[in-house]
């Protein structure tokens, strides 16, 4: 497994803010092979930030932390945060591990009071699929996480052990036009090597043109097809967003949009495909 540009392994035993004199909250560890840290070596110093950049709210204590990759991990997109949050009504004692292809890239053992969180503002920037293992109340739990521009940041909610990532969603529209604004010079879908992806979404429009009675997907005006519409999420969200970013757009958000048109022309991304010009538009994007 490629562990990034610069791999390292480090284990740190620190006690986050919220310590009570005489109280021993060290999580029980029945696995003798695990590289734990003896409580005699723990420091009483209150910290708000780990040496790797993790930020702890008061009431969160970190007992052992292992980072096996350079953070943020990857460079496929802008780094997203990792959040471990106790949404319950009592203190939790848990170990959370993130694995890629069966290998641990991050692990932390912590104690959290209710309503407290531990986060890395810039943790994940790699598109892929990861597993999250959570040990809590002597039970093991697993979550599957997909990461990328089409998914939310990684978030593990305790004590119910749910979350990880969720796909982003957006509505899209596709229409064919015969005229373009003077300042827009449509680019061929073959030039940025996006032909297949553009073709997939153009098929939505063609299907509507052949079957305009499909009211859920086809918007008509005076009996004629106006545009095709649909929804994207997760990986398809990433594909459509990549198209929006690669081709010339007109009436962008920076220009005060989102209106459906500007100066009589549809707002959106203009693409020349198989001799015709299409306008792609993404709207109502949400996580």
User: Domains of the chain, with CATH numbers?
Assistant: 10-164 (2.60.40.10), 169-286 (no CATH)
Share of the chain above pLDDT 90, in %: 59
Q: Which of 21, 22, 20 is nearest to 58 (CA)?
A: 20
User: What would the pLDDT profile of 140-185 be if each residue is shown by its tens digit?
Assistant: 999 999 999 999 999 999 999 998 999 999 999 999 999 999 989 9
Residue 20's alpha-carbon distances to 16, 44, 85, 108, 283, in angstroms, are 11, 10, 21, 21, 51
Q: Which of 278, 268, 270 is nearest to 177 (CA)?
A: 278
Per DSSP, the residues of 142-161 read EEEEEESTTB--EEEEETTT
User: What would the pLDDT profile of 52-105 be if each residue is shown by its tens digit?
Assistant: 889 999 999 999 999 999 999 999 999 999 999 999 999 999 999 999 999 999
**Interval 204-220 mean pLDDT:** 83
Q: What is the separation of C-alpha 197 from the centre of its chain, rounded to a whole number of angstroms? A: 21
Share of the chain above pLDDT 70, in %: 79
Name the residue with higher pLDDT: 41 or 168.
168
User: What would the pLDDT profile of 266-276 be if each residue is shown by its tens digit?
Assistant: 989 999 999 99
Counting Cα atoms < 13 Å in the Cβ hemisphere of 110 gives 34
pLDDT score of 217: 85
Using pLDDT thresholds of 50, 70 and 90, give the confidence band for residue 28: very low
The whole-chain average pLDDT of the chain stands at 81
Q: Is the bond into 72 cis (omega within 30 degrees of 0)?
A: yes
Instruction: Report which secondary-structure segment, H or E, holds 204.
Output: helix 195-210
* Beta strand pairing call for 128-136 and 92-100: antiparallel
pLDDT score of 253: 57
Q: Is the pTM of this model over 0.75?
A: no
pLDDT score of 61: 92
pLDDT score of 48: 56
Q: Mapping DSSP to helix (H, G, I), strand (E, B) and coil, where does residue 95 land? A: strand
Using pLDDT thresholds of 50, 70 and 90, give the confidence band for residue 286: low
Residue 177's alpha-carbon distances to 55, 104, 248, 271, in angstroms, are 51, 51, 15, 10
Give me the residues paired with residue 100 across strands.
Answer: 103
Using pLDDT thresholds of 50, 70 and 90, give the confidence band for residue 127: very high
Q: Tell me if 241 sits within 8 A of 149, measured CB to CB.
A: yes
In 44-177 the beta strands, taken as DSSP E runs, fall at 55-56, 60-67, 80-86, 92-100, 103-112, 117-124, 128-136, 139-147, 154-158, 162-164, 169-177
pLDDT score of 237: 94
Q: Tell me if 168 sits within 8 A of 152, measured CB to CB.
A: yes
Using pLDDT thresholds of 50, 70 and 90, give the confidence band for residue 45: very low
User: What would the pLDDT profile of 191-203 be if each residue is shown by its tens digit?
Assistant: 888 999 999 999 9
**Reading across the β-sheet that carries 154-158, which strands appear in turn?**
55-56, 117-124, 80-86, 154-158, 162-164
pLDDT score of 252: 64
At 110, give phi and psi (nearest 5°): -145, 160
């Amino acid at each position: 497994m490629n562990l990034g540009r610069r791999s390292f392994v480090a284990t740190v035993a620190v006690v986050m803010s919220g310590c009570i004199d005489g109280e021993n909250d060290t999580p029980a560890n029945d696995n003798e092979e695990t590289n734990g840290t003896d409580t005699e070596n723990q420091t009483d110093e209150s910290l708000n930030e780990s040496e790797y950049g993790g930020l702890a709210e008061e009431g969160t204590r970190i007992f052992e932390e292992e980072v096996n990759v350079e953070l943020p991990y990857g460079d496929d997109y802008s780094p997203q945060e990792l959040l471990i949050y106790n949404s319950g009504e009592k203190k939790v004692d848990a170990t959370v591990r993130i694995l890629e292809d069966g290998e641990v890239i991050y692990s932390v053992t912590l104690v959290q009071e209710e309503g407290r969180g531990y986060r890395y503002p810039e943790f994940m920037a790699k598109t892929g699929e990861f597993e999250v293992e959570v040990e809590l109340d002597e039970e093991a739990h697993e979550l599957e996480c997909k990461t990328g521009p089409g998914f939310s940041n990684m978030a593990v909610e305790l004590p119910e052990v749910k979350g990880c990532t969720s796909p982003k969603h957006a509505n899209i529209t596709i229409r064919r036009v015969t005229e373009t604004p003077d300042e827009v010079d449509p680019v061929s879908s073959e030039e940025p090597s996006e032909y297949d992806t553009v073709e997939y979404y153009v098929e939505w429009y063609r299907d509507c043109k052949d079957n305009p009675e499909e009211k859920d997907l086809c918007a008509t005006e005076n009996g004629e097809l106006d545009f095709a519409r649909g929804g994207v999420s997760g990986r398809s969200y990433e594909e459509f967003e990549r198209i929006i970013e690669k081709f010339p757009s007109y009436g962008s958000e920076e220009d005060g949009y989102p209106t459906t048109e500007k100066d009589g022309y549809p707002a959106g991304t203009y693409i020349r495909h198989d001799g015709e010009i299409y306008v792609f538009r993404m709207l109502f994007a949400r996580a």
